[in-house]
Amino acid sequence: MSSALSLEFARRMAALGPFEATPHLVLAVSGGSDSMALVLLAEDWVRATGGRLTTLTVDHGLRADSASEVRCVGEWMRARGIKHEILQWKGDKPTSDIQRVAREARYGLLDNWCRDHGALHLLLGHTRDDQAETFLMRLQRGSGPDGLAGMSAQRELRHCRLLRPMLGMSRERLRDALHRESHSWLDDPSNLNLRFDRVRVRQEMREGWDSKALAENSRRYGLARTVLERDTDRLLAEICRFHAGGFCRIDRRGLSDAHEDLALRALARVLAAVGGLTHRPARGGVERLRAHILNKTRPAVTLGNCLVEARSGDIGVFRERRNLPAPVRPKPGLTLHWDQRFSVTFGNARAATDRGLHLRAFSPDDWRCVIAESPELRVSPPVAGAMPRSAFWGLPALADDSGVLAVPHLNYTRTPGGPGDTLAEVHFCPLHVASNAGFFVA
């Protein structure tokens, strides 16, 4: 690549650092011009830093030509001496909302590969043009300031950091560089399909929108968002206490005294973490919840899979007893993200042979059975003493055909040394942590 582009890429990577001494960069490569430019720029970067590259291509299986296209990408990578793997999206494919579902599946496959290979950094080839399109799409949908900030240059997935080092670079400039390098790329025919919102917006931009100006507006919103998110982190640290059992206590006075916007942001984050939500709840619902709780018009409110209870000095946020996962059969060594809240690892080999063994949500009926067998838990539960009863329902519990075998958060095991020991590890690990890496403008 040109020295000017490589230097700019290095500067943008430095803003996303620090990196380890010999960084392993994983690149999502579709074969399009943006991702091919990313390969060449990252290749220069690791050559200068002593790192290494792995390229991954997801075969979504949505088009007849997809298999041959991913093989073509693999051949290009091998010609450059770069490791390349193909990830297959298996299972049923969507018939509607295709781009969103495919994107979520793609990110899941890439993130899991990084987990399995101990890779920390996953790079995507989004450009300034993509950021401008995102801004315009969200503007047309009536998004607020956070949405208009567009894509973050850095985002935490479950197992790695997702980095977008080319967000400030134009597609035209990158394609010119590829032409100078005599490097080809693939054109995805779905980018011409006007059924998709992004394709329609891209067409509109060709008719007079200034992508540089749109991206600059998005950057300004992004800078404002970073400040608000840092202030929200500070507020959460001051007024919230999370428990390993997956619930949260919020200081009522602190929430009442906080600036309304920060209080609403903090509440939305807590609800997403405790409720195991994929997306934070809409602002309107959070506004109504805050008003009910602080004005004491209702002692308990539900929102986002959460039960929110007003107490004397604090507010309790608990997982609601609905939309809980179906029972899951354990498999030795399997780690699953149960209810998008708890990381559960099965470790007992007997799990595969014990009939009726399953993981499910703890219920009031289970509690009655547990205290009938172990009455001491009602008086002085070893772990549950710090947990209000509202926090019990929705805890992960191992059960068989005869009832509950083990509830780790209550330190309860029906038969010590028996199949209840199948649960090797259980940790509160919500999909959205309340205090996160936040929005990032590079």
The model's pLDDT over 422-439, given as tens digits with 9 standing for 90+, comes to 777 899 999 887 776 566
Q: Which among 284, 319, 354 is the end of a domain?
A: 319
Q: Highest mean pLDDT: which of 260-274, 286-300, 351-365, 419-433?
A: 260-274
Q: Are residues 121 and 172 in the same domain?
A: yes
Instruction: Establish if 10 belongs to a structural domain.
Output: yes
Going by C-alpha positions, the residue among 21, 30, 90, 28 that lies closest to residue 54 is: 28
Instruction: Establish if 216 belongs to a structural domain.
Output: no
Q: Could you tell me the sign of the dihedral formed by the alpha carbons of 74, 75, 77, 83, in that order?
A: positive
Instruction: Establish if 351 belongs to a structural domain.
Output: no
Q: Are residues 120 and 7 in the same domain?
A: yes
Please, what's the b/e burial string for 89-111 (b: 16 or more CB within 10 A of its CB; e: otherwise)? beeeeeeeebbeebeebbbebbb
Q: Has residue 181 got a pLDDT over 80?
A: yes
Task: Give the pLDDT band (50/70/90) at residue 64.
Answer: confident
Q: How far apart are CA 369 and CA 358, in angstroms?
A: 17
Structural domain range at position 282 = 239-319
Average pLDDT over residues 29-57: 96
Q: How far apart are CA 117 and CA 270, in angstroms?
A: 31
Q: Are residues 15 and 80 in the same domain?
A: yes
Task: Give the pLDDT band (50/70/90) at residue 346.
Answer: confident
Task: Give the pLDDT band (50/70/90) at residue 273.
Answer: very high
Q: Could you tell me the sign of the dihedral formed by the alpha carbons of 205, 171, 100, 322, in that order?
A: negative
Task: Give the pLDDT band (50/70/90) at residue 271.
Answer: very high
Task: Give the pLDDT band (50/70/90) at residue 85.
Answer: very high
Q: Are residues 315 and 198 in the same domain?
A: no
Side-chain half-sphere exposure of 321, counting CA atoms within 13 A: 9
Instruction: Establish if 129 belongs to a structural domain.
Output: yes
Q: Which among 209, 229, 256 is the end of a domain?
A: 209
Q: Has residue 238 got a pLDDT over 70?
A: yes
Mean pLDDT of the chain: 88
Average pLDDT over residues 245-269: 95
CB 392 within 8 A of CB 318: no
Average pLDDT over residues 90-111: 86
Comparing 60-74, 236-250, 373-387, which segment has the lowest mean pLDDT?
373-387
Q: Are residues 34 and 134 in the same domain?
A: yes
Q: Has residue 304 got a pLDDT over 90?
A: yes
Q: Are residues 302 and 159 in the same domain?
A: no
Task: Give the pLDDT band (50/70/90) at residue 353.
Answer: low
Q: Are residues 164 and 244 in the same domain?
A: no
Q: Are residues 120 and 41 in the same domain?
A: yes
Q: Are residues 17 and 68 in the same domain?
A: yes
Report pLDDT for 113.
Answer: 97
Average pLDDT over residues 339-368: 82
Name beta bridge partners: 56: 28, 85
Average pLDDT over residues 6-14: 96
Q: Has residue 298 got a pLDDT over 70?
A: yes
Report pLDDT for 191.
Answer: 64
Bigger pLDDT: 402 or 85?
85
Instruction: Establish if 325 belongs to a structural domain.
Output: no
Determine what percent of the chain is predicted with pLDDT higher than 70.
92
Q: Has residue 176 got a pLDDT over 90?
A: yes
CB 166 within 8 A of CB 6: no
Average pLDDT over residues 374-395: 74
Q: Are residues 192 and 251 in the same domain?
A: no
Bigger pLDDT: 12 or 378?
12
User: Is pTM beyond 0.85 here?
Assistant: no
Q: Has residue 234 got a pLDDT over 70?
A: yes
Q: What is the pLDDT of residues 113-125, one digit of tens each?
A: 999 999 999 999 9
Q: Are residues 21 and 162 in the same domain?
A: yes
Task: Give the pLDDT band (50/70/90) at residue 385.
Answer: low
* Strand 121-123 to 161-163 pairing: parallel
Instruction: Establish if 37 belongs to a structural domain.
Output: yes
Bigger pLDDT: 128 or 140?
128
Report pLDDT for 438.
Answer: 64
Q: Are residues 258 and 180 in the same domain?
A: no
Bigger pLDDT: 426 or 91?
426
Bigger pLDDT: 205 or 11?
11
Q: What is the CATH number of the domain that holds 168?
A: 3.40.50.620
Instruction: Establish if 127 belongs to a structural domain.
Output: yes
Instruction: Establish if 21 belongs to a structural domain.
Output: yes
Q: How far apart are CA 348 and CA 158, in angstroms?
A: 25
Report pLDDT for 380.
Answer: 57
Report pLDDT for 35.
Answer: 96
Q: How many domains does the chain have?
A: 2
Q: Which among 279, 303, 319 is the end of a domain?
A: 319
Q: What is the CATH number of the domain that holds 296?
A: 3.30.465
